[in-house]
Structure 1
Amino acid sequence: MARIAYLRDQLARAERLAKAILDRQTAEQLQAFAAECREELQVLSRRAAA
């Protein structure tokens, strides 16, 4: 469960930073990282529910 909380925190931070940053390349990298966190979070949430 600690990993799920960590991923939720990182996801929120990455999305928040991506909106605030003016550098397009950095914003895109943050959005990609958020997507990776979201995917892993879905997998872990499914495992926890099973």
Structure 2
Amino acid sequence: MARIDYLREQVARAERLAKAILDQQTAERLQAFAAECRAELQVLTVKAAA
């Protein structure tokens, strides 16, 4: 469960930073990182439910 909480925090943090940052390349990388975390979070959530 700790990994799921960690990923949720990372998604929120990355999205918040991506909105606040002016550098487009950095914002895109943060959004990509958030998407990766979301994908892993979805896999872990499915495994936890099973």
Percent identity over paired residues: 82
- The unaligned stretches of length 5 or more in structure 2 are none
SS at match of 2:22: coil
Q: Structure 1 runs of 4+ off > 6 angstroms?
A: none
TM-score by length of 1: 0.99
- Whichever residue aligns with residue 30 of structure 1, its letter is L
Aligned counterparts of 2:19 and 2:12: Cα–Cα separation in 1: 11
Give 1:23 shift.
Answer: 0.2
Letter in 1 for 2:9: D
Gap regions ≥5 residues in structure 1: none
